[in-house]
Structure 1
Amino acid sequence: MKFSELWLREWVNPALDTEALETQLSLAGLEVDGCEPAAGQFSGVVVGEILAAEPHPNADKLQVCQVTDGEEEYQVVCGAPNARAGLKTAFAKVGSILPGDFKIKKAKLRQVESQGMLSSEKELGLSDNHEGIMELAEDATNGQDLRFYLNLNDAIFDVDLTPNRSDCLSIAGMAREVGVLNRARVNQPIFKRVPPTHDEQPQITLEAPHACPKYLGRIIKGVNIQAPTPIWMKEKLRRSGIRSLDPVVDVTNYVMLELGQPLHAFDKAQIQGGIRVRLAEDREKLVLLDGSELELTADTLVIADHSKALALAGIMGGEHSGCTENTQDILLEVAYFDPLALAGKARNYGLHTDASHRFERGVDFQVQERAMERATELLLDITGGEPGPVVEAVQADQLPTRPDVTLRKNRLEQLLAIRLPDEEVTDILTRLGLKVEDLGDAWQVQVPSYRFDISLEVDLIEEVARVYGYDKLPVKAPTASLLLQSQPEARITLRQLRSTLVARGYQEAVTYSFIDPKWSQAFDPDNTPLPLANPISTELSVMRTSLLPGLTKALVHNQKRQHPRVRLFESGLRFVQTPEGLIQEPMLAGLISGARLPEGWSNQDEAVDFFDLKGDLEALLELGGDSGSWQFKPAEHPALHPGQSAEVLCQQADGHWLSAGWLGALHPQLSKQLDVRGQALVFEIRLDSLQAGKLPRFKSLSRFPEMRRDLALLVDEGLPVGQLLQEAENQGGEWLQKVTLFDVYQGKGVPEGKKSLALGLTWQHPSRTLTDEEINAQVDQIVTAFSQGFAAELRS
């Protein structure tokens, strides 16, 4: 927010210079981005009056003007299009010094002598306006120093307010803060209540009271919109970064800057029937004051009459209802709009206005009556006219409530590391405009309507610290007795899992937790994703139920940038909705695609396959020291290739097998849909299952020989070998040490539809040598189980 220092000092005038005031505001949390002079450095410029303006004899675009400073007359050559007899303007006499150390001297322009210069605002460093020379009020005194006449020995503060401090988006709010910080009296202007002089009233209907619970309207007849805006108002607007347009707009802008309440004036002649505050009809059209045409959505609040929309509520007025040079009667509106109803609406339409900036952050819901009277008073002083009665439409139960907040004294001392006297805390809160009641061990605080940012105890503590002075608070390091947390020895840390994958050539990826609903449906159609209330975009509008969409998107991104060999993994949460509520489940996912080995003279150009990924996942499972509690079961998943997918099962303490995740190749149709080049293989597994390890136990080495038997089996080619290995371990007895698959063969000598498996079984006893009879009995038991359970035959 920009404002004039002199304007602020009209309200409150602390014993501080400009630099000290700037520092004080920044230390109080109202950061000053910049402080610059209200005008450039110049001297010798006075108020001058053009007595006559004649065409230059030797130039079409120049005029020869006779100018007086109240004592003498001067001849000045001027090229400004608005130079005319009777105009009072800025006159730089010979010897004057303008910004940039430019000294005015006598000169001849096209053989005509010029004794000075008539100046524009840009030439004096007032603004960028150089369309013509300055136009001053008719009552300006000729010869008066321009710096004194316009009060140009002023500074313009540019304060960068945080979104929660909307109460300071006005001179009244800034003055209140300066008064509190300096224990200075705030001299608020006395606003008179303007009595009506006619009986005509606007008809106002609140059709969306949740968005606009309060709306005030007043008809003012016979305004002279051609009347000039006073120079003092123009200057205050200019120094606040607002250009003067006409007296009606200038007054509404002035009151907005003064009190923080945006206002708007309609041309009454353009209003049919009464005012309706309603939601827009879907695809309703509205042409704004800047000439742009909008197609409105159904959740947009508009100000309308009984036939059309007049304005985008709280943002900008409509072109066809705005005041023009022919306007005679106006309808002045002052309203309170709910911040949530207007949040983001201006941005959705590519707009940002001073009004929307304030309404989105919150406006005092009790200042509307005051703003109406202030604007009426100024309008009557400048444009004349006859005011009617103020009509107020209000839905009291929809207005905000400001519940009391309790501030505990011990909590204040704890957070500030200092015990402030109760009287000082009470004084600080009272000066902030809060009503305070001391309850002994706490204060009960009633929050005023303009402080939207105070609702919790910590908000009050922040206010006390801010006003007391952050620089006065003691520097005290927090102390606490912290005990080292015990770490389960059997637990596998995420760091170990990451290191293992990195050692196997993977790179860690971090993707968004919210994804495109289409991707969610493609990868996990069985789970309905949680939609975001305020998404960044439609492509990122739901929470992910799987980490695989993000990794696949990263793969496509890399492939399009000529990186065909990709190995990625990610650890993070997935969000699954259940009847019991939302579950946030830690997961670990990986993806591989491209060549098995990096390109090189000694490496063969072979693409990765299912078993490459399975081997990487098994390396993670081995970290837990209990690989026997894991199984891979062929199963189908909607996002995976039907013939190259498996469900990962984990054995629980009670012996039950639970699903822990999936691995396999992406479904060909899904790969084509997502523009994946080549084959991509993925896995996703619950992180808690991976991290549950098993402590190793010491076991002495046996001094007795091992006994080995090899079996050649004929089985169906579709039989998973893992089932045979598991059955061999179950039937092999307690001295069976290991089961090894050392050959798989299909071809000559093996019937079609069959495959030959060669298993090596090794036994060893810790305290004696096993006999052939014992081993043969175990082998017979295993062969019988294979024959009965899997129709396996010994191959001769």
Structure 2
Amino acid sequence: KDRIRSMGLKPINNIVDITNFVMFEYNQPMHAFDFDKLQGNISIRAAKPGEILTTLDGIERELKNNELVIADEVKATALAGIIGGKSTQIENNTKNIFLEVAYFTPDNIRKTSRELGIFTDSSYRNERGLDIENLDVVIDRAASLISEIAGGEILSEAIDRYIEKPEKVEISLDLQKLNKFIGKELSYDEVGKILTNLDITIKSYAEAKMVLTPPSYRGDLQRAADIYEEVIRMYGFENIEDKIPEASIESGKENINFTISNLVRNILKESGLNEVINYSFIPKEAKELFNLGDDIIEIKNPLSEDMAIMRSSLIYSLLANIRDNLYRNQNDLKIFEVAKSFSNFNNETLAKEDLKVAIALSGKAEKTLWFQAKEGYNFFNLKGYVENLFEKLGINKYSLERSKNNNFHPGVSADLKIGEELLGTFGEIHPVLIEKLGIKREKVFFAEFNLTKMLKYMKIKVNYESVSKYPEVLRDLAVTLDKNLLVGEMTKDIKKKINLIEKIDIFDVYSGDKVESGKKSVAMSIVLRDKFKTLTDEEIDKTMKDILTLIKDKYNGEIRQ
């Protein structure tokens, strides 16, 4: 009992304790059955579909994946190499004992252990491979201890059954390659002595080569590289001199995803956003909450329920970051993430991996020249970050459409497209989703774009353009428009038709009792500049008149009085 406790186990009874003691002594699991509870002969077979086995831990388990079991002629009595069955366990009134020691294919044990979620000392050893030639020694040792300590009488010799005796591994070792690998010139005699001391048989010699057979208890030696490790280990790292190898180093081409990821990160950091990094796993509830579709990849053996599926979108991760920060009284948040998303693709074996970027805003923006008090983030703050990103990536010819994505607030979100290809969506997250996530009293603005799709539209080659020496002219303009008019399309049209316009910024949108019903007031800051001369008052007045005429004739707008 003292020996069993020192191994970190709890003493059960003399028979079970002996099997555990021998397992630690020889690194070979074994099992003892109550012989009187067995019904007929013992065999090893695949479990029948729906077969029930109550294991020693008292759990009733349904077997269905052809798990390997030890069975009598009526029922399964143990999960082979993993755990015994309760129906044949050793108890205080047990008189006759059947001992079993076996070698099982490691892959088989590992698969069954993972699928059923059973991890025992026996499965730990079996799934890593054991010494197949040592089973008779182990069973004799166990029988001897039972005879000595428990007063047992050995009634029969061991019955040894091989289905197929495994062939011994043979490894070819090239001495020149070994010496090149370790950086030291070792002789045949030195290497041969090391290998012989490790019980590795040197089967035959050839010029600069050896054929080696490792002992049966060294299942980790399978190839020449494994022998290299053993030679280095026994020769001693301290006996190998430091020497920098000569190598021709040439610069390689940087992976495009790596390049774009770094570029996008730098753009968003320079815009004042903070980067977050999340796991690629999210909980199953995210699939239904955000309607992520049917191409989700589920993890067969997740580490926890919160890491059950691979994310096909970054939306859950960033909103969870917002929620967790709000719980810790961090209220003004502007974050982004650049990461891969994963989804099933046409039932192929490998997942489809897309590089995506996502931005999330919540709380209040910092003070600006126009607003000395902090103002809450709105759709246009997010739109500004999006437009800046696309401008720096050289993507200018895109269109915005009202989004029908259920994850976003209707009317406060937009799809960004080039032609008919959807690159992403941005806007306010739907209030119902915000409430379900546990985010209280805060609006969250979110954008997500597929960088993999955007690659073909990017023009990130830098072209130098000299700074104009002629001054800009700033004019503010407030107009009333139909409430449903998309202002972005109007400003693009104005910039396209009026050559002197350098930039148009929307800094206020108002709809209330001070404007006509069904209308909204839009305030714009317009920058005018001529690259070749200073603008005159007449040119500025004419340009502003042309802008107002275009707004009135094409968009039914009026200057706000």
Larger deviation, residues 243-252 vs 333-342: 243-252
Give the match for residue 673 of structure 1: 436
* C-alpha distance in structure 2 between counterparts of 1:609 and 1:476, whole Å: 61
The unaligned stretches of length 5 or more in structure 1 are 1-126, 130-234
In the superposition, relative to structure 1, how do residues 365 and 642 fare at CA in structure 2: closer, same or farther (>3 Å)? farther
- 1:413 maps onto 2:179 in alignment: yes
Give the match for residue 561 of structure 1: 328
Give the match for residue 660 of structure 1: 423
Larger deviation, residues 581-590 vs 476-485: 476-485
* Deviation at residue 519 of structure 1 after TM alignment: 0.7
What amino acid maps onto 1:685 in structure 2?
F
Once the two structures are superposed, what CA deviation does each residue of 1:455-491 show, in whole Å capped at 9, x if it has no partner?
Answer: 3443221122112222322223455454567889xx9
What amino acid maps onto 1:727 in structure 2?
D
In the superposition, relative to structure 1, how do residues 452 and 640 fare at CA in structure 2: closer, same or farther (>3 Å)? farther
How many pairs are equivalent? 542
Give the match for residue 613 of structure 1: 382
SS in 2 for 1:591: strand
The unaligned stretches of length 5 or more in structure 2 are none
SS in 2 for 1:675: coil
- 1:295 maps onto 2:60 in alignment: yes
Select the structure with the greater relative contact order (CA < 8 A; seq sep ≥ 6).
1
Give the match for residue 548 of structure 1: 315
Once the two structures are superposed, what CA deviation does each residue of 1:11-41 show, in whole Å capped at 9, x if it has no partner?
Answer: xxxxxxxxxxxxxxxxxxxxxxxxxxxxxxx
* Deviation at residue 657 of structure 1 after TM alignment: 7.6
SS in 2 for 1:336: coil
Map 1:357-756; keep pairs closer than 5 Å. 357-372=124-139, 375=142, 383-387=152-156, 390=159, 392=161, 394-396=162-164, 404-436=170-202, 437-438=204-205, 440=207, 443-478=210-245, 480-482=247-249, 498=265, 501=268, 506-523=273-290, 525-526=292-293, 528-579=295-346, 581-597=350-366, 604=373, 606-624=375-393, 626=394, 628-629=396-397, 631-649=399-417, 658-677=421-440, 678-687=442-451, 689=454, 693-699=460-466, 701=468, 715-732=481-498, 737-739=502-504, 752-755=517-520
SS in 1 for 2:464: coil
What amino acid maps onto 1:414 in structure 2?
K
Give the match for residue 54 of structure 2: 286
* C-alpha distance in structure 2 between counterparts of 1:257 and 1:748, whole Å: 84
In the superposition, relative to structure 1, how do residues 286 and 434 fare at CA in structure 2: closer, same or farther (>3 Å)? same
* Deviation at residue 430 of structure 1 after TM alignment: 4.5
What amino acid maps onto 1:428 in structure 2?
I
* C-alpha distance in structure 1 between counterparts of 2:390 and 2:330, whole Å: 29
Map 1:139-150; keep pairs closer than 5 Å. none
* C-alpha distance in structure 1 between counterparts of 2:173 and 2:10, whole Å: 45
* C-alpha distance in structure 1 between counterparts of 2:55 and 2:512, whole Å: 80
What amino acid maps onto 1:563 in structure 2?
Q
* C-alpha distance in structure 2 between counterparts of 1:325 and 1:669, whole Å: 62
Q: Is the 8 A contact 2:26 2:138 kept in 1?
A: yes
Highest Rg: 1 or 2? 1
Q: Is the 8 A contact 2:551 2:558 kept in 1?
A: no
What amino acid maps onto 1:557 in structure 2?
D
* Deviation at residue 547 of structure 1 after TM alignment: 1.9
What amino acid maps onto 1:390 in structure 2?
I
* C-alpha distance in structure 1 between counterparts of 2:492 and 2:132, whole Å: 74
* Deviation at residue 362 of structure 1 after TM alignment: 1.7
* C-alpha distance in structure 1 between counterparts of 2:535 and 2:333, whole Å: 52
In the superposition, relative to structure 1, how do residues 779 and 285 fare at CA in structure 2: closer, same or farther (>3 Å)? same
* Deviation at residue 574 of structure 1 after TM alignment: 1.6
Q: Is the 8 A contact 1:283 1:295 kept in 2?
A: no
* C-alpha distance in structure 1 between counterparts of 2:197 and 2:42, whole Å: 40
TM score, norm. by length of structure 1: 0.57
* C-alpha distance in structure 1 between counterparts of 2:100 and 2:171, whole Å: 33
Aligned CA-pair RMSD: 4.7
Give the match for residue 764 of structure 1: 530
Q: Is the 8 A contact 1:524 1:545 kept in 2?
A: no
* C-alpha distance in structure 1 between counterparts of 2:95 and 2:523, whole Å: 103
* Deviation at residue 668 of structure 1 after TM alignment: 2.2
* C-alpha distance in structure 2 between counterparts of 1:284 and 1:261, whole Å: 27
In the superposition, relative to structure 1, how do residues 747 and 310 fare at CA in structure 2: closer, same or farther (>3 Å)? closer
What amino acid maps onto 2:296 in structure 1?
P
Once the two structures are superposed, what CA deviation does each residue of 1:526-570 show, in whole Å capped at 9, x if it has no partner?
Answer: 352222243202331221112221122222223333434333322
Structure with more of its chain in helix, by fraction: 2
Give the match for residue 338 of structure 1: 105
SS in 2 for 1:331: strand
SS in 2 for 1:383: coil
* C-alpha distance in structure 1 between counterparts of 2:158 and 2:507, whole Å: 100
Q: Is the 8 A contact 1:732 1:782 kept in 2?
A: no
* C-alpha distance in structure 1 between counterparts of 2:508 and 2:94, whole Å: 98
Give the match for residue 165 of structure 1: none
* Deviation at residue 367 of structure 1 after TM alignment: 3.2
Once the two structures are superposed, what CA deviation does each residue of 1:549-599 show, in whole Å capped at 9, x if it has no partner?
Answer: 11222222233334343333223222233236423333332222223349x
SS in 2 for 1:310: strand
Q: Is the 8 A contact 1:623 1:693 kept in 2?
A: yes
* C-alpha distance in structure 1 between counterparts of 2:119 and 2:254, whole Å: 53
What amino acid maps onto 1:293 in structure 2?
G
In the superposition, relative to structure 1, how do residues 701 and 718 fare at CA in structure 2: closer, same or farther (>3 Å)? same
In the superposition, relative to structure 1, how do residues 435 and 660 fare at CA in structure 2: closer, same or farther (>3 Å)? farther
In the superposition, relative to structure 1, how do residues 729 and 287 fare at CA in structure 2: closer, same or farther (>3 Å)? closer
* C-alpha distance in structure 1 between counterparts of 2:476 and 2:428, whole Å: 34
Residue of structure 2 aligned with 1:270, choices 37, 55, 67: 37
In the superposition, relative to structure 1, how do residues 557 and 247 fare at CA in structure 2: closer, same or farther (>3 Å)? closer
